[in-house]
Structure 1
Amino acid sequence: MEWINQANDKAHSLNEIISFYEFYEELKKNPTQHIRPTSVYLKDMMNYFGKDENSDYNLFKKDDPDAPAVYGQKRIQRQILQNLRNFEEEGFNSKFILLVGPNGSSKSSIVKKIMKGAEEYSMSDEGVLYTFSWIFPINNVVKGTLGLNNKSETQTLNTFAYLDDKDIAAILTSDLKDHPLLLIPVEHRQKIINDFFKDSPKKLEDLQKTYLYRGDLSKRNKMIYDALLKNYKGKHEDVLKHIRVERFVISKRYSSGAVTIEPQLHVDARLQQITMDKRLASLPPSLQSLNLFSLTGEAVLANRGILEFSDLLKRPLDTFKYLLMTMETGTINLAGVLTELDTFFIGTSNEVHFTAFKQHPDFNSFKGRFNFIKVPYLLDYKEEKRIYDKQVKDLSDRTSFEPHSLESIAQFAVMTRIRACMGKHYDDSKLTAIVTGLTPLEKTYLYSKDHILPDRLDTESSQILKHGLNSIISEFENDNLYEGKFGLSPRDIKNIIYKLTDSHKNLTFIEVIEYLGKLIQKKNEYDFLNMSTHGDFHNPSRFLELIKNDQVDKFDKELRDAIGLVDARSYEEYIKKYVDHVYALINKDKIKNNITGKYEEADLNFVKEFEKSIKLKESPEKYRSYLISKLGAWSLDNPGEKLNYMSVFPELVEKLQESFRNDQKKVIKKLTENLLVLQNDQSKNEFAKLSEEIRELYESTLSNLKKMYGYSKPASLKLINFLAKEKKY
């Protein structure tokens, strides 16, 4: 069977066994890959998966059944990566990373993605990890060299790594997955590392701070090494024969380098003597006298990987006080045995428990050893929408999500999470006037990755708002009631989607608004519904009104395009003519008439007519000056490129299109009235009463709505009806 061969190949790769000498050869070939602490390993892992065109790490976008994709949390990703870089500088993982945020804000999902990424990376050639075990052969293989008698015989093997099970008396694994590099005595190891990285002084400086440079084997491995070395009269090569270097992979499922500690009370690490263990009887006499022990527990299993404390602050504080010393020294004390760890410590907590934690007398002690990273709900509705795309796709067999329906849900969710801008936080009076006038929907559009500015603003105001965007985004970052701390959670939204699909075959924004209108009456179930209103903010009924009006306008434009009411003018030529005449007016130049070849005065009437059609709201002189400045800036940024006026001035195209649509309202009204004849029964008799022109228009419009935007026929008719009522066509 083919699958057996494939499984065998994979198993052979992941269960690689080599001798210490072979490992050393691998080490010499690629020291950078094999000599790196966990902080560097995880940093390399994130880079291994690459970035997209928006500089988002692909790791978090990968969708796995046990580690769903995380969208829109770029800031948190950057902060985690920065902490890893800091740990690299310090030489060990010196801080506990605590992700803090409201329930359902993707804290645990972020940790899952890091664990899943580390798991996949450890299976790759670039992310290979090694540890080792001690192999003790039976007497027939090697006799008289392990304290069995005084006479030593010549050995023919230079390693016991490849012995069959029948030839092995005992195997002792490395509980902490010790790095094979630590088998080299520290003074020699340091010289080797110095030689490896003599041409990379910064890399060497960072490595010199790590346990791989200055540390040693864990206590049990050290005891075994020293006992064997004594027995072999100081011959290190004989000790290293007992080493079997093994590849290991990170696995959360099997608690190997990726472990989650739940908030229930239990000990995170334990030390247990193995004096009575049956394995001891198989060990050579030189080791049987040692007081050997084994380490167990989550902190041990997670070494050289990731240890997550889920809902850390639900545990009594005394149960994790040991983390203070661990973060300071990189070690953990187990029954007097000081054990060095190479673990990335990360945890999660909700806002309620974190608020209580800050009141604790010991909080300041923890604050020095913890890095708190806020994980709010998303404020970008487009990223919010991506969270539910897979759910919607899975539900498509029972419900058709019409265009903008999911968008409406995502916008409502974001609007429940944002606050009104406060004038006292801004120094610029013009910016203050603009931001305090933003509606919740306008702020939602502004927060999207495209940073969509309100259409109602003139050019100057748009530029002021654009330049003040960072101030708006960061306004409440350090406030106790920061944006994204409250509002509907993704878990709530997923439940809403399931309930909507239970009762609707075709789901438009109309059904979404109707359902949300009922939901906002349930003040006992959602805290955000009990917040004091601030104008339109924290005012859910107003949110729905804003969304409804916006979606009606969108469908109005889509319907006009589907009907085929297209402006016959060439926007490119039309805008070029306007810009040419504006340039001539400002510079008091003349324009060449391409027909007569003569130079003529700029046509001021044409300029005014153009500005009237785009409903210019500001001073014409100021706008014209801005237009020429923008054109000049484009030319400087794009030397030698052919000028495309529609690309440079997309806002003019949109305004011209809107002007054309407004001129066609009578036509739209007549068409919608005829289309609505078919709203109820769509019978053949009703259809036959219509003129052939209208029948063709009916078919083509519904077909275009389907082809151009994806609307189903029932949804199109429903929305046309709704549009006619709202716009009073």
Structure 2
Amino acid sequence: MTKNTETLIEFAGRELGELEPLSFEQYLELLRQKPAGQLRSAAAYLLDTFDYFGSSTMETPTGKTRRFALFDAEFAGGLGKVAGQEQAQQAIYRLLNNFAREGRTTRLILLHGPNGSAKTSIIRAIAQAVEHYATTDEGRMYAFRWIFPAERVARGQIGFSEGGKATSAPSGNESYAHLPASEIEAVLECDCRDHPLLLLPRKLRLKLVEEFKSEDKLAGDFMLPHYLDRGDLCAKCRRIFDSLLASYGGDFGQVLRHVQVLRIYPSLRYRRCMATVEPQMHVDAGEQQVTASRSLASLPPSIAHLALFEFHGPLVDANRGMLEFNDMLKRPVDTFKYLLSTCETGQVALARSTLFVDTVFIASTNELLLDAFKEYPDFVSFKGRLELVRVPYLRKVSEEVEIYRSQFPPSRLGKHLAPHTFDLAALWAVLTRLKKPQAAGFEGELKQVVERLTPIDLAWLYDRGQTPPKLSSQLSRELLASLPKLYRQQGPQYEGRMGASAREVQMILMNAAQQPDRKCVSPLGLFEEVESLLQDKSLYAFLQQQPDGDYQNHPKLLDYVRDYYLDLLEEEAADAMGLVTEKDYL
């Protein structure tokens, strides 16, 4: 075995060593060391994930904005990066902050916007960051399961028969958590991954918090999250707990011997503390009896006689984490009415029991479905439990370019990429999304300037802070000062609601790469594909809009892009020859 192989195995051993189970007493010691990290709600955990990766304040032509580093996905090599969308990021962060302060998630976060505007990408980026954060020391999260020792270890306790030679297994009040597999008869998982602290009576939980406050381990105004304050074990764990307590004659310490605490790692892929609900026609949680299963025949009689039910479904899988409803409003409204009470109480009523959940609910939908939902008779009831976060198409060329550069490495296109191709594709996409500015909120000469802004003027104003040519310095300053107001103009038909999506532009680029008569992917091939797309208005809603001057006039918008490309070629040729262009005098 080589030294490198030994080092690799040693490293893997250290990593896997963190999976070593704890007894309940060991977990309490860990809790005493860092109580704040273990007494978090799901919303606080997500909030800490945002804070762990940090943020930065950016000065842009449209004003100051805060960007959270988790959306850059540097920890994943940039895979899953979300370009732009800082306003949506900040809105989600504010809501998580509110939920964390309240101690529970009281509303569902609904990301709405046109198709292909990165709603799902935002949710995936958060999930990916949570998965990474959970591997750090700050992101430790624990759950528990029940351990039932072999007959020779239990020596007649909890319903096992007498007999069998005792081994060197735990005695007295020592935990069964560290028993070797050969001495374990049965293991029962907690399907809901309940917090280990829920094993303690509520009075003891509150007493612990007060102790931590008196020792300055928690802030004086710290409030225990609703899930840990008012919550309880899932029905299966509660029945096991109560049965064990009765079997041991009320000896609480003996019950805790059966508890094994494990570190858990949230995972969207394995539906561990995170899950996705696709549009479908059934409830998102269920239960089925498990004690009838032959695989659990080795349970002690005092437990085997119980009618234990196994909980399943996305709502169960996502407990203590985040549940995503993908294209939520494609489902019949009645299938998610339960969220009205679940968001308010943190409980889900099933046929035979009630689940206590601690989950951040986040969903996505497009604008057409949201408009239809607003006409629904019960929308007012839902609105009280919804927080709408707008996710429009990007309106800055430099941000749009980032998408294509990350999505199209040289190997994917299969051909050489000519200069400026991505920039021109991004410019065309942004131009299709811009709306004629509302000049009513401006006065004097500035109002006239706003009215005269062309789509290309507005695009460079948003992206570069570049004012139109031949504008006086005074008006340029006034226009730049009013740019944040111009950029944030609201309304149901907001800017960025319609236009070419990044998906459609990616399709155009892929088609341009397939042109057999061209040796590279060039702006000329791009223009040909855009012209071809403009011929089929029935497939693309943004082509069916009525032009407003040059805005939404798609043949004219393509001309703007062509003219800009010719200007670029002229400037580059002049630079190469050391000549001065007309623009240099402006």
**TM-score, normalised via structure 1 length:** 0.73
AA partner of residue 24 (structure 2): F
AA partner of residue 444 (structure 2): S
Distance 1:103 1:33, change over 3 A: same
Deviations 1:51-76 (A, max 9, x none): 35634222222276996321111111
Q: Does residue 212 of the first structure (1) align with residue 216 of the second (2)?
A: no
Counterpart selection for 2:247 from 219, 231, 234: 231
Partner of 1:311: 327
Counterpart selection for 2:349 from 313, 329, 333: 333
Counterpart selection for 2:293 from 270, 277, 285: 277
Distance 1:397 1:176, change over 3 A: closer
Counterpart selection for 1:462 from 476, 500, 503: 476
Distance 1:52 1:109, change over 3 A: same
Question: 1:414·1:444 contact (CA, 8 Å) conserved in 2?
Answer: yes
Counterpart selection for 1:386 from 383, 402, 405: 402
AA partner of residue 432 (structure 2): T
Partner of 2:29: 25
Structure 2 residue ranges without an equivalent (≥5): 59-65
Partner of 1:433: 448
Partner of 2:9: 5
Q: Does residue 177 of the first structure (1) align with residue 181 of the second (2)?
A: no
Question: 2:113·2:365 contact (CA, 8 Å) conserved in 1?
Answer: yes
Question: 2:34·2:217 contact (CA, 8 Å) conserved in 1?
Answer: no
Question: 1:91·1:206 contact (CA, 8 Å) conserved in 2?
Answer: no
Partner of 1:638: none
Alpha-carbon distance, 1:307 to partner: 1.1
Alpha-carbon distance, 1:14 to partner: 5.2
Distance 1:437 1:13, change over 3 A: farther
Alpha-carbon distance, 1:356 to partner: 1.4
The alignment-based identity, stated in percent, is 37
AA partner of residue 293 (structure 2): D
Alpha-carbon distance, 1:311 to partner: 1.2
* Greater displacement, 220-229 / 512-521: 512-521
AA partner of residue 50 (structure 1): G
Q: Does residue 442 of the first structure (1) align with residue 457 of the second (2)?
A: yes
Question: 2:72·2:78 contact (CA, 8 Å) conserved in 1?
Answer: no
Question: 1:67·1:109 contact (CA, 8 Å) conserved in 2?
Answer: no
Counterpart selection for 1:74 from 75, 78, 86: 86
Partner of 2:184: 168
Distance 1:156 1:234, change over 3 A: closer
Partner of 2:284: 268
Alpha-carbon distance, 1:362 to partner: 1.1
Deviations 1:536-593 (A, max 9, x none): 1111222122222233233323322222348xxxxxxxxxxxxxxxxxxxxxxxxxxx
Question: 1:420·1:537 contact (CA, 8 Å) conserved in 2?
Answer: yes
Counterpart selection for 2:486 from 472, 476, 497: 472
Inter-partner Cα distance in structure 2 for 1:112 and 1:391: 16
Q: Does residue 561 of the first structure (1) align with residue 575 of the second (2)?
A: yes
Correspondence 1:134-533 to 2 at 5 A: 134-148=146-160, 155-156=171-172, 158-198=174-214, 205=221, 207-278=223-294, 281-395=297-411, 398-424=414-440, 426-448=441-463, 450-475=464-489, 477=490, 479-503=491-515, 504-533=518-547
Alpha-carbon distance, 1:81 to partner: 0.9
Alpha-carbon distance, 1:300 to partner: 0.6
Alpha-carbon distance, 1:205 to partner: 4.1
Partner of 2:104: 92
Secondary structure, aligned partner of 1:524: helix
Inter-partner Cα distance in structure 2 for 1:142 and 1:199: 39
Partner of 1:703: none
Distance 1:234 1:462, change over 3 A: same
Inter-partner Cα distance in structure 2 for 1:150 and 1:508: 82
Partner of 2:584: 658
Secondary structure, aligned partner of 1:295: strand
Partner of 2:54: 50
Alpha-carbon distance, 1:177 to partner: 0.2
Distance 1:20 1:472, change over 3 A: same
Distance 1:410 1:397, change over 3 A: closer
* Greater displacement, 195-204 / 52-61: 195-204
Deviations 1:661-717 (A, max 9, x none): x9xxxxxxxxxxxxxxxxxxxxxxxxxxxxxxxxxxxxxxxxxxxxxxxxxxxxxxx
Alpha-carbon distance, 1:284 to partner: 2.8
Alpha-carbon distance, 1:266 to partner: 2.7
AA partner of residue 168 (structure 1): I
Distance 1:501 1:534, change over 3 A: same
Partner of 1:641: none
Higher normalized contact order (CA 8 Å, seq sep 6+, divided by chain length): 2
Inter-partner Cα distance in structure 2 for 1:71 and 1:127: 26
Deviations 1:254-276 (A, max 9, x none): 11112111112233111222342
Distance 1:66 1:53, change over 3 A: closer
AA partner of residue 408 (structure 2): V
Question: 1:90·1:206 contact (CA, 8 Å) conserved in 2?
Answer: no
Question: 2:35·2:217 contact (CA, 8 Å) conserved in 1?
Answer: no
Inter-partner Cα distance in structure 1 for 2:555 and 2:281: 45
Secondary structure, aligned partner of 1:111: helix
Secondary structure, aligned partner of 1:347: strand
Question: 1:46·1:57 contact (CA, 8 Å) conserved in 2?
Answer: yes
Question: 2:393·2:496 contact (CA, 8 Å) conserved in 1?
Answer: yes
Alpha-carbon distance, 1:168 to partner: 1.1
Partner of 2:61: none
Inter-partner Cα distance in structure 2 for 1:84 and 1:24: 28
Question: 1:67·1:112 contact (CA, 8 Å) conserved in 2?
Answer: no
Inter-partner Cα distance in structure 1 for 2:285 and 2:94: 29
Inter-partner Cα distance in structure 1 for 2:561 and 2:241: 71
Question: 1:208·1:214 contact (CA, 8 Å) conserved in 2?
Answer: no
Counterpart selection for 1:59 from 54, 59, 70: 70
Alpha-carbon distance, 1:404 to partner: 2.1
Structure 1 residue ranges without an equivalent (≥5): 567-653, 663-729
Correspondence 1:108-119 to 2 at 5 A: 108-119=120-131
Alpha-carbon distance, 1:7 to partner: 7.5
AA partner of residue 70 (structure 2): L
Alpha-carbon distance, 1:41 to partner: 0.6
What is the RMSD of the two structures over their aligned residues, measured on CA atoms? 2.7
Deviations 1:287-312 (A, max 9, x none): 33433222111111111111111111
Alpha-carbon distance, 1:118 to partner: 1.3
* Greater displacement, 309-318 / 225-234: 225-234
Q: Greater Rg, structure 1 or structure 2?
A: 1
Correspondence 1:599-610 to 2 at 5 A: none
Distance 1:119 1:396, change over 3 A: closer
**TM-score, normalised via structure 2 length:** 0.90
Question: 2:511·2:529 contact (CA, 8 Å) conserved in 1?
Answer: no
Distance 1:392 1:150, change over 3 A: closer
Inter-partner Cα distance in structure 2 for 1:10 and 1:330: 38
Inter-partner Cα distance in structure 1 for 2:414 and 2:299: 65
Question: 1:268·1:298 contact (CA, 8 Å) conserved in 2?
Answer: yes
Alpha-carbon distance, 1:508 to partner: 4.2
When the two structures are aligned, how many residues end up with a matched partner?
Answer: 567
Question: 1:395·1:501 contact (CA, 8 Å) conserved in 2?
Answer: no
Counterpart selection for 2:564 from 530, 545, 550: 550
Partner of 1:723: none
Inter-partner Cα distance in structure 1 for 2:25 and 2:44: 25
Question: 2:410·2:416 contact (CA, 8 Å) conserved in 1?
Answer: no
Distance 1:393 1:284, change over 3 A: closer
